[in-house]
Amino acid sequence: MPMTMPGKTSWKEPGPWLSSILGVSLLSLPLGLVMAIEAAPIALSAEQNQAAPKLVPAVAQVPIQAQGTSVTLGSSTVPIPWEQRGDRIGLADLPLMSHLGLDLQNSTTSDQQPLIWFSDDADFVPTWFSQGYRYLDLTAWAAQRGWHLVPDGNNLRIQGPSGTVMAGRRGKQTWGDRLVLDVDRPVLWSFDEDATAFTLTIQAQAGQDFKPEALTTGDGNQLNSLTVTTSGGQIQIRGTFEATSRPRVWSLPNPNRIVIDISQADVIPREIRWAPGVLWKQQYLSVGDRRFPVHQIWLSLSDSTQLEPIWSSPNQLPGITPLKTMAATNQAYVAINAGFFNRNNQLPLGAIRRDNQWISGPILGRGAIAWNAQRQFTLSRLALAHTLTTQQGQSFTVNHVNSGYVQAGIGLYTAAWGRAYTPITDGEIVVTVNGNQIVQQTPASAAGTGAYAIPPQGYLLVLRSFRSAAQALPVGTTIALTPDLRPPNFGNFPMAIGGGPILVQNGQIVANAQAEGFSAAFAAQTAPRSAIGVTPDGNLVLVAIHFSPGGRGPTLREAAQIMQQLGAIDALNLDGGNSTSLYLGGTIINRHGSTVGRVHNGLGVFLAAPE
């Protein structure tokens, strides 16, 4: 739907879930989740490539006057980043939706975001981008509703008109549980949750007809327990639920209601032009008779919208951390977990290439994708070895670069690994090379002990079960390394990431895990999946696929079929399971953050400000 001006407008085409619930009887509100199944690829509009005016409106060029990471309503504080620029105050959009219930609606431009809060019609608010977040300028919108936004150090206090909760009720549904609260006017609330519990704090007093037991009495399908407390002009509702479910809190007008749904079918279809070159979409897609929730970020790369590998520490390659932390540290606006790694020693197991440098080399000929800012891509199985040649003419094969994958032979560790190397296996021999000359050869201690400095202008050769090579590499020997990259065209791309197996190639499903060195058990798994795909029009799509409602995760082949449905002509499987995480503007959008495992590396999307 065209969006031509800010302010209030009639939202003519609400999402199917919203259409089905507005105006329905209070006592029998259905879930109303109509799952949209769309197979066509998405063409990003021309707006996506208009970087400067959309990315940094005039307000974003005003210096930051105050900023923080928390918002307080009454006695409740929730984590929402915010900024004050001049007389304008913006709150990060996805945390705002999660914690305060301002529901983001589908949009076709990124500089104006429609939202709904106790209304049938969407209001449009301006946006700006800063330090990894998209901020919604709520200054005028909040004033119209009698809110006062008061910065106080790192905290933003929101004060609004108090209301009254007049009644409440609960009911089992075929899909889960629903709680409904009748309020006399739109009232502020804050919401927080972890993996199996939630807390809703409403800035309202209890009316004379409000009976807490109407909410707390009865058995639930997904709701396990519920308590209600009232004090100090607030009503607090705490609930616990099954780990396979998620709660959602939203509002309805005429009459005003707050609705809490606990359901296994927790994905609301959305299609939001979030930033120049960035489209956020989520929906259910079917493979056979099974529906899977599919979270997507569509990217049109350009000079102002760039994709780069990121990892947990800027100073060293070993280490793992939650993707949310990794993205925030790098100030990425979008991120997805990427390559495989060893969770025990926290080392990478696959290709990472950034700015034409191999941060970590590929292993086992597994699938990888490479790209540049000109929207050119290549995807294939990848191998990289080096031939080490001595001044005496002897030669040896160097199998891996900065890798946690070890086998008998020689491994290469450069300054990209960090300042020092700690042995991965027992009995290693560490050969230090500086200026193409061997300056030291040291029998290493046991695995996990000791630290061997990596020369900034050199590297280490680590010999494993290869003493004959040690004899040919004495101190003082001059050596040369010659790379052998297959296919060679990967060297023409500055960025690359490894995963595997390849799911789709040239429009055809591949998904051959055994051919890429994965075990039969891995090939047979059903689990959440992360993937990256390339479309015929030169766009990328980052995808997280989860458990079907109440059921299992997708197989590799089902993941390939979903990528094919999305229009990908090439697609690569990334690390999955509890690593699967898709990040947008400060929030993990595909699952609750507490259920996500730490990861070694990811792909980050960076939005460049105009000069």
pLDDT digits (tens, 9 = 90+) for 331-360: 999 999 999 999 999 999 999 999 999 999
CA distance 492 to 212: 66
- Of 433, 458, 486, the one marking the end of a domain is 486
Same structural domain, 14 and 150: yes
Contact 124, 113 (CB under 8 A): yes
Same structural domain, 357 and 418: no
- The per-residue pLDDT for 57 is 67
Average pLDDT of every residue of the chain: 91
Nearest residue to 409 via CA among 393, 423, 394, 396: 396
User: Is the per-residue pLDDT at 53 higher than 80?
Assistant: no
Domain span including residue 570: 276-382+490-607
Same structural domain, 39 and 131: yes
pLDDT band of 32, cuts 50, 70, 90: very low
- The per-residue pLDDT for 24 is 36
Contact 270, 584 (CB under 8 A): no
> Span 153-178, mean pLDDT?
96
CA distance 99 to 91: 11
Domain harbouring 451, CATH code: 2.60.120.1140
- The per-residue pLDDT for 126 is 97
Cα distances (Å, whole numbers) of residue 417 to 28, 132, 412, 422, 598: 60, 26, 10, 10, 19
Beta strands across the sheet bearing 367-371: 357-360, 352-354, 495-498, 367-371, 377-381
User: Is the per-residue pLDDT at 559 higher than 80?
Assistant: yes
pLDDT band of 445, cuts 50, 70, 90: confident
- The per-residue pLDDT for 609 is 58
- Of 486, 513, 544, the one marking the end of a domain is 486
Nearest residue to 160 via CA among 146, 176, 140: 146
Bridge partner residues of 305 (DSSP): 607
pLDDT digits (tens, 9 = 90+) for 504-556: 999 999 999 999 999 999 999 999 999 999 999 999 999 999 999 989 999 99
Same structural domain, 447 and 480: yes
CA distance 202 to 190: 7
User: Is the per-residue pLDDT at 1 higher than 70?
Assistant: no
CA distance 431 to 442: 6
User: pTM for this structure?
Assistant: 0.91
The answer to the question of residue 390 being in a domain is yes
- The per-residue pLDDT for 54 is 44
Same structural domain, 391 and 363: no
- Of 98, 127, 159, the one marking the end of a domain is 159
- The per-residue pLDDT for 531 is 98
The answer to the question of residue 127 being in a domain is yes
Q: What is the percent of the chain where pLDDT is above 70?
A: 90
Q: Provide the strand spans (E) within 70-147.
A: 70-73, 76-78, 82-85, 88-92, 103-104, 112-116, 122-130, 133-137
ω into 501 cis (within 30 of 0): yes
Same structural domain, 46 and 154: yes
User: Is the per-residue pLDDT at 29 higher than 90?
Assistant: no
> Span 397-412, mean pLDDT?
97
Cα distances (Å, whole numbers) of residue 283 to 95, 583, 588: 20, 16, 16
| Half-sphere exposure for 497 (CA within 13 Å, toward CB) | 27
Same structural domain, 570 and 503: yes
